[in-house]
Amino acid sequence: MSSFELALGPLERIEAEVLVLPLFEGEIPLRGAVGRIDWRLCGRLSRLAAAGQLPAEAGAAFLTPGGGGVRARRVLGLGLGPRSAEDFEAWAAAAFDRARRLADGPLALALPDSGERLAPRLAQLASLARAGEAPQRVCVAPEAPDETVALQWFRSMARRPQPGGLEIVPPPEGRAPRGAGLAEAATQPARSSPNPTGRFTR
């Protein structure tokens, strides 16, 4: 059985074997979750993007070690193509498949900002996890503006009878969204890194 959880703390502090980031074409400077992890990796992703070495077309993937300020062992960037033409379901299925092949441990999934689409997307993720398409533990991390909707969805679903194959774990009572913290941190200047390398995966 898989567990399906919500992360409310800083993305870089999530303990995971693989952290999956959504990459959109043409988005330089990097922003949101990608910008925050880039900041924690001392600008590694920004330099690769500026050099045209961070693929963001739909289905393309990029793998780099975590470490430093990122607790996940590996960071997997997965392309969504242009923001206006994203296929979230295909992206989520690819994220689960690649993460499962990389490691058996927990998966942290940074979600692209969704607005009103977040609840259906969480339902899609839960359905994929229930079908055995995901690692045994999935921790989703929405962008800061989406966290209130995510909290409501998780608490509502956790109160309902659970179909077999998936445990939806409610966030602790009293936990509040982290608000603007993610956006503020993502705008911090990147520092240089002696090891900007990563590798492409297909």
| Domain hosting residue 68, numbered range | 2-188
Residue 198 domain flag: no
Alpha-carbon gap, residue 135 to 76, rounded angstroms: 15
pLDDT on residue 131: 86
Closest alpha carbon to 12 in 42, 43, 44, 37:
37
Q: Is the dihedral of CA 31, 34, 40, 46 positive or negative?
A: negative
Residue 193 domain flag: no
Residue 122 domain flag: yes
Q: For the segment 40-92, what is each residue's pLDDT rounded down to a tens digit? A: 999 999 999 999 889 999 999 999 999 889 999 999 999 999 988 889 999 99
The CATH code of the domain that includes 114 is 3.40.220.10
Number of domains composing the chain: 1
Residue 195 domain flag: no
The 3-state secondary structure of the chain, one letter per residue: CEEEEECCCCHHHCCCCEEEEEEECCCCCCCHHHHHHHHHCCCHHHHHHHCCCCCCCCCCEEEEEEECCEEEEEEEEEEEECHHHCCHHHHHHHHHHHHHHHCCCCEEEECCCCHHHHHHHHHHHHHHHHCCCCCCEEEEECCHHHHHHHHHHHHHHHCCCCCCCEEECCCCCCCCCCCCHHHHHHCCCCCCCCCCCCEEEC
What percentage of the chain exceeds 70 in pLDDT?
Answer: 86
Cβ neighbors of 77 (< 8 A, separation 6 or more) are 20, 21, 23, 34, 45, 54, 55, 56, 61, 62, 63, 64
Residue 107 domain flag: yes
pLDDT on residue 151: 94
pLDDT band at residue 114 using 50, 70 and 90 as cut-offs: confident
Residue 201 domain flag: no
Read off the pTM. 0.83
Residue 197 domain flag: no
Residue 34 domain flag: yes
Answer yes or no: is pLDDT of 188 > 60.
no
Q: How much is the CA Rg of the chain, to the nearest whole Å?
A: 16
pLDDT band at residue 174 using 50, 70 and 90 as cut-offs: low
pLDDT on residue 184: 37
